Amino acid sequence: MIVIKHKRVFEKLEQYNRIKGDLPEVSLNSYRQAFELEYTHNSTAIEGNTLTLLETKAVLEEGLSVGGKHLRELYEVINHNKAYQYVKKCIADKLVLNENIIKDIHSILMENIMVGGIYRNVDVYISGAQHTPPSPSEMYAQIKTFYMDLIDKTFESTIECAAWTHAEFVRIHPFVDGNGRTSRLIMNYQLMANGFLPISIKKESRLEYFNALEAYAVTKDLCLFENMIAVLEDEQLDRYLSMSKG
């Protein structure tokens, strides 16, 4: 995996901030729409949703149903898009990520699927992983510490903060279902709230992604995942910089 120093990403962010006001509005809106579609598709597909990108587009943009698919899969993509819009609204309102917002995100993700926003009271296991999420009693203590750390923990960079927010939340696994989608949304919350661009982890990269999260869960080594986010942010900034008329 290529190591990208955060300095390079921050330099590109500075370039983007200088020219973003001059970027063509048509290009920006077109790309943002395409990104949101791909982000919803990738984030749900990572968890096993079988809708293709085109089927996801048909559901979200045209309100069409897709034959041969479980109703739950349709709700997963609809809900994910709603949750992302909620994230953007909270950021526009300058709200700092907290427990209520995270529970709201999960509730939106679980609409018409199960009751959301409620922590689990049962043990859960992640197939194929070395890490076993904490039992309910330990989980409650750890999620409480997580929210305190969201306020008090010091990070060297926004990328480290986003990586930790995702990796620690999904390590704790506080919900019965939807932890992955929630953690990817709150990762982007931290990025966007601090002036960075949202990123999408492609379903084709899920093995690298799971290995990076496993490394953190087992050894608390955040480097692999932090670097993965840095690479994706670097690529995303390149896309926006390429829109510049200059």
Q: How confident is the model at residue 244 (pLDDT cuts 50, 70, 90)?
A: confident
Instruction: For 109-145, write each residue's pLDDT tens digit.
Output: 999 999 999 999 999 988 777 889 999 999 999 999 9
Total residue length of the chain: 246
Instruction: For 66-111, write each residue's pLDDT tens digit.
Output: 878 899 999 999 999 999 999 999 999 999 999 999 999 999 999 9
The three-state secondary structure class of 32 is: helix
Supply the pLDDT for residue 193: 98
Instruction: For 186-229, write each residue's pLDDT tens digit.
Output: 999 999 999 999 999 999 999 999 999 999 999 999 999 999 99
Q: List domains and CATH numbers for the chain.
A: 6-241 (1.10.3290.10)
Q: How far is it, in rounded angstroms, from Cα 26 to Cα 106?
A: 32
Asked if pLDDT for residue 246 goes beyond 60, the answer is no
Instruction: For 24-40, write each residue's pLDDT tens digit.
Output: 999 899 999 999 999 99
Instruction: For 44-69, write each residue's pLDDT tens digit.
Output: 999 999 999 999 999 998 877 787 88
| Structure token pair of residue 246 | 């200059």
Q: Which of 82, 29, 84 is nearest to 199 (CA)?
A: 84
Cite the active site residues.
173
Q: How confident is the model at residue 2 (pLDDT cuts 50, 70, 90)?
A: very low
Other residues' Cβ atoms within 10 Å of the Cβ of residue 174: 23
pTM (2 decimals)? 0.94
Q: How far is it, in rounded angstroms, from Cα 156 to Cα 29?
A: 32
